[in-house]
Copies of this chain bind each other. A is one copy, B any other.
Amino acid sequence: MHPIAEKVLARDTRATARACRLADDRAGDHAAILKDLFPHTGRAWVLGVTGNPGAGKSTLTDRLISVFRKQDRRVAVVAIDPTSPFTGGAILGDRIRMQAHFGDPDVFIRSLATRGALGGLSRSAVDIARVLDAWGADVVLVETVGVGQDELEITRMAHTTLVVVAPGMGDEVQAIKAGILECADVFAVNKADRDGADAAVRDLELMIALGGEVASASGRARGHSAAAHHARAVAAAPGGSPTEGPWEPAIARTVATRNEGVAALVDRLEGHRAWLFGTEAGAARREERLREAMHVQLRDALTDAAVAVLGPALDAAVHAVARREIDPYTASERLVEAFRSTGAFTPGGAVAVGDGP
């Protein structure tokens, strides 16, 4: 076993931080370490926390950490941090809010900078979550800021996705909720003491109610699995044991700054977890997520291998497209053929171009 992997399993903080960094950068022996750690993963509950800036995600995450720590669970936090060196202020503030847990050896907090690499963020987050799972985390909280592809990719890797919304954040906030519904398992209406909280809850209830029908129609047409996800059913029965059937997103009201409603929120999250790990529908969902993750992993592995194999052929294709000798659609088809056979690219069909050194 790789010495860093060994140290991660021994819960060495420094080695764990190093393994996270290597996984993030895809540097050093990251592949060997991840392979060694994988058999020791699968125990952690990966909980994604997302929502618009200003909704209070960080404060709520902090409260969740406290609840989990009181239950004597080990907690890891992966904070997807969109700040660059020149605009670090706001998010540093968030991190400081979590500092209450910095001395706790059973809380591991790791920031992960987004740098706009295509698909790179979710790959890093998946790998880091695995490292922290192997480190012994009972819960891995993955907190993201912003809306868009980032969140969608991240929430796909989480077992349970919590979407935090705050009332009264303007019209367009409503708009950017779209796409998020598809991956929200639990909503927290945070800052629930503010005007507009009731309206926000009603809006979410309406979205969830409509979601079942709309998503099942469009989801099926698109080949997505939204149907199973959104269709209406009650998931966690009041008694405690999960009910079969698809999961319907749950809603909790919280005031994170005053620690109100957090226990009820955790109940909702645990309800989803019980559904995911205790029902056939949940097992189907987990397999579907695993399949999606394997697709992403395969896509990345193929791209890496193709770039390495094709090298000069890829350059030749770029130049041929730039000179408009070939369209990019045909060029990429030829590159795929080349990857599966010789590695050379032939723009015209007869003469091989780019058989470089």
Contact, CB under 8 Å: A153 / B118:
yes
**In the bound complex, how far is the Cα of B54 from the Cα of A170, in angstroms?**
8
Contact, CB under 8 Å: A149 / B153:
yes
Confirm or deny: A274 has a beta carbon within 8 angstroms of a beta carbon on chain B.
no
Confirm or deny: A301 has a beta carbon within 8 angstroms of a beta carbon on chain B.
yes
Chain B residues with Cβ below 8 Å from A146 are 146-148, 176
Confirm or deny: A98 has a beta carbon within 8 angstroms of a beta carbon on chain B.
no
Which listed residue, B39, B173, B302, B329, touches A306 by the CB 8 Å rule?
Answer: B302
Chain B residues with Cβ below 8 Å from A93 are 171
Q: Which residue of B lies closest to A116 (CB)?
A: B152
CB distance from A217 to the nearest CB of B (A): 9
Q: Helix, strand, loop or mixed for chain A's interface?
A: helix
Which of A293, A296, A307, A340 has most chain B Cβ within 10 Å? Answer: A340
| Given A34-B327, A38-B329, A318-B287, CB of A54 within 8 Å of CB of B294 | no
Confirm or deny: A261 has a beta carbon within 8 angstroms of a beta carbon on chain B.
no
Contact, CB under 8 Å: A53 / B172:
yes
Confirm or deny: A207 has a beta carbon within 8 angstroms of a beta carbon on chain B.
yes
Contact, CB under 8 Å: A333 / B301:
yes
Chain B residues with Cβ below 8 Å from A39 are 324, 327
Which of A119, A178, A224 has most chain B Cβ within 10 Å? Answer: A178
**In the bound complex, how far is the Cα of B317 from the Cα of A175, in angstroms?**
38
Confirm or deny: A183 has a beta carbon within 8 angstroms of a beta carbon on chain B.
yes
**In the bound complex, how far is the Cα of B207 from the Cα of A35, in angstroms?**
40
Contact, CB under 8 Å: B291 / A90:
no
CB distance from A293 to the nearest CB of B (A): 7
Which listed residue, B53, B145, B176, B210, touches A82 by the CB 8 Å rule?
Answer: B176
| Given A149-B149, A287-B322, CB of A118 within 8 Å of CB of B296 | yes
Which listed residue, B119, B151, B207, B290, touches A321 by the CB 8 Å rule?
Answer: B290
| Given A31-B329, A294-B314, CB of A178 within 8 Å of CB of B322 | no
Chain B residues with Cβ below 8 Å from A84 are 178-179, 181-182, 214-215
**In the bound complex, how far is the Cα of B173 from the Cα of A177, in angstroms?**
17
Chain B residues with Cβ below 8 Å from A307 are 295
Confirm or deny: A238 has a beta carbon within 8 angstroms of a beta carbon on chain B.
no
Task: Using CB atoms and an 8 Å cutoff, list the residues of chain A in contact with chain B.
Answer: 31, 34-35, 38-39, 42, 53-54, 82-87, 89-91, 93, 114-116, 118-119, 121, 145-153, 170-179, 181-183, 206-207, 210-211, 214-215, 218, 222, 224, 287, 290-291, 293-303, 305-307, 314, 317-318, 321-322, 324, 327-333, 335-336, 339-340
A-B contact pairs, 20 of them (CB 8 A): A31-B329, A38-B328, A53-B172, A86-B211, A87-B177, A91-B175, A93-B171, A114-B149, A116-B149, A116-B152, A118-B296, A145-B176, A146-B147, A148-B149, A293-B328, A297-B328, A298-B335, A299-B306, A301-B333, A302-B339
Q: Which 3 A-B pairs have the closest CB atoms?
A: A148-B148, A149-B149, A53-B172
